Amino acid sequence: MSSGLLMRALRHMSGQTAKCGKKYEPLSMSRSLRDITPEAYSTLRSIMIQMERASSLGNSMQLTDKESAANKVLMTAKSKELEKGFLNPSKFTPGQHIFQVLKKVERSPLFGLLKTMPKGGILHAHDTALCSTEFLIGLTYRENLWICTADEGCRAIAFRFSKSKPTMKAMEECNWEPMADFRERRGEENVKKYLQSRFSMYPFSSFLSNNQAWNQFMSIFILLDGLLLYAPIWAEYYYNALTEMYADGVQYLELRSLLPDLYCLDGTPLKMTDTVAIYKSETERFMANNPDFIGARLIYAPLRGVEPKVVDEYVQKCIALKKEFPTFLTGFDLVGQEELGRPLIDFVEPLLKMPEDINFYFHCGETNWFGTSIDENLIDAILLGTKRIGHGYAIVKHPVAIEMVKKLDIAIEVCPVSNQVLQLGQDYRNHPAAMLIANDVPIVIASDDPSFWRATPLTHDFYFAFLGIAPFSADLKLLKHLAISSIRYSGLTDEEKSKGMDKWQKQWNKWIESLTKAA
């Protein structure tokens, strides 16, 4: 093949056009390449691979000499797991359900390296699905806790903190007893095992449908409400969530919350503003105790399965909250199972009333359906000006939407473990985020509801994204890009982002130093 024909082929593959504006005619590669030498073929092949890698997410990231040395340590650990999986795919952890390999993953050398990595922030996480199961069980030993049971006292329905037996009309058909009595009646170890099974979806890895998975998923939220909505516990729970995140290499959080009404020991309900005030004060307390923590912001995220007039009320509440907490509240979302909730198109009129200083961060495209009102939520989210897209699992089926998020610089919040547990896909190698990475679509890695999968705040999601979703060649460049993106696409101001980057960079440098010493 002549050098001219080779260049013509490369121009065609890169989508370039002639000076006159006419596109190059398609080449018949099967006919044109038969007469070339093996050396020319090897050159063309090498250039094509380089072109593909150059268009991949994070490839333009530059590494320092120390980072390059650290990268060798990282890639050695990654390569070993990839090689084992390639030789025996049944042993490749990203090809299996997380619940089947949870403990194995945590023993992985690569997981150990990623756990200590400064990951930036979590931009997609829900309020009552953050803390470890062990912490939740510890809360059940607190004074004045009652449990509501049914089925002859065997099945827990609700919890409630109260000085005396709770009197709740919605719970008249169950039996209230002090938690201490329940524990004594059923046995300490039995109760612990029971609560472990009720506070997470682990170890169930197979459901008949994602509806069934969502039913169990939502039942955990319902059960935990009475335990966590007691105001003193709410504050402690949130502070502990920040503690667990910080230990997992997370320095920033954007929390989606329904902002439920908390209650006092005598049953007195608090206001929505009290809930936000607790978040804000506990964040400030945590930052005072951990100066290199960047901070947290709130996304008001009520349920989507409502009438449009209710969303209008949501908007008014959000506007009022923004006035009272102008720097802490950053945005708005609608949550709940997308396939059973109402589509965004139903709420366009009230949503257009939202002021510009309140960002949208819409859940959308969390589905396997194609061409329905469900995946078309992606279109409405983009047109409404969303700053990020939660999940966006279906976006690869929408080429125009992909081009729009690239041009408008809208990041996709990829939640690998959540997508698997809630039955969107089983093998991480088939996750649509692979297409996003290959095409340089902006993404951040998030964990959604890590408490319910018995996962770490963020490391498990990074592990499966890096080892299973990203290409074999993806290295420290991608990880660095993802960490920086979590700050870049946050709701922080430019000045706050700059300060946050400084805090992240200091931790990053320490991590790089620790890896180079391990070389």
**Residues with catalytic function:** 366, 391
What is the phi/psi pair of residue 475, to 5°? -135, -150
Nearest to 138 by CA among 177, 220, 196: 196
Torsion, Cα of 139, 143, 144, 148 (10° steps) = 40
Burial of 303 (0-12, 13-18, 19+ CB in 10 A): middle
What is the phi/psi pair of residue 448, to 5°? 65, -80
Torsion, Cα of 481, 118, 417, 428 (10° steps) = 50
Which residues are registered as beta bridge partners of 269?
263
Cis previous bond, 471, omega within 30: no
Which residues are registered as beta bridge partners of 331?
299, 359
Task: Please measure the distance between the N-terminal and C-terminal CA atoms of the chain and give it in whole angstroms.
Answer: 44
Q: Cβ atoms within 10 A of the Cβ of 255, count?
A: 23
3-state secondary structure 216-227: HHHHHHHHHHHH
What type of residue is 315? Answer: V
Long-range contacts of 143-150 (CB under 8 A, 24+ apart): 144/265, 145/178, 145/179, 145/227, 146/176, 146/177, 146/178, 146/179, 147/176, 147/177, 147/178, 147/179, 147/182, 148/174, 148/175, 148/176, 148/226, 149/174, 149/175, 149/177, 149/182, 150/174, 150/175
Q: Cβ atoms within 10 A of the Cβ of 320, count?
A: 12
- Residue 439 and residue 479: Cα distance in Å, rounded? 16
What type of residue is 391? Answer: H
What's the gap between Cα 182 and its chain centre? 36
Sign of CA dihedral 70, 73, 75, 81: negative
State whether residue 463 is helix, strand or coil.
Answer: helix
State whether residue 189 is helix, strand or coil.
Answer: helix
